[in-house]
Amino acid sequence: MKAYMTNGTLDFLMKLQDKHPAINFFFMTNNGGALAYYEESEKQIFGAGRTYEVIKKSGELIQKGYVVMNTIAVMDDDHAVFEDRIKNNLLDKIEGVQAFRFLKPIKSNKYVVLTHWNSIADYEKWKESDRYKEAHQVLSVKLPAYYNDMPFTTTYFMHEEDTEKS
């Protein structure tokens, strides 16, 4: 299965739902804008999007909650070792996690570990735990030589369309 995502304004991205009603989009927002995400076998509709192979998944994404995406650049020689560490670790068995996705990039070296939390409080509670420290040891890689390849975390709130209408 593949996963696709792209960034833009929420208004622009929401129009995608009208153009492609068969696709189950997840729209996420943060202070920097919005992101559209969907999973499907082969249908890429974004002109300027990113494509990933879903290597490991658990749980189902829903249209509410808090999403944390850890983006990690991995050098070509380290792909197999990094993938094995993530696939064989129980990062997805954490209290408060609605869904987990381990995404391998198709055209870059930047993997994404996506966790979909029931709430920001669940995520903050987990950050205080020993499991958090263990998970970040699993996610660790050799630091890259270039700033653009430094690991980073992006957080989003799932866009709940119903709350806008009320």
Report the chain's mean pLDDT, rounded to a whole number.
86
Q: Which fold has domain 2-165?
A: Alpha-Beta Plaits (3.30.70)
pLDDT reported for residue 134? 73
Taking Cα atoms as reference points, which of 35, 16, 34 lies closest to residue 24?
Answer: 16
Instruction: Say what the pTM is.
Output: 0.85
Beta bridge partners of 152: 71
Q: What is each CA distance from 24 to 18, 58, 92, 119, 160, in whole angstroms?
A: 11, 17, 22, 22, 14
Judged against a pLDDT cut of 60, whether residue 145 lies above it is answered with no
Work out the percent of the chain whose per-residue pLDDT is above 70.
86
Judged against a pLDDT cut of 80, whether residue 143 lies above it is answered with no
Q: Which residue has the tokens 């996690």?
A: 97
pLDDT reported for residue 47? 83
As a whole number of Å, the CA-based R_g of the chain is 16
Taking Cα atoms as reference points, which of 68, 73, 45 lies closest to residue 147?
Answer: 73
Judged against a pLDDT cut of 50, whether residue 164 lies above it is answered with no
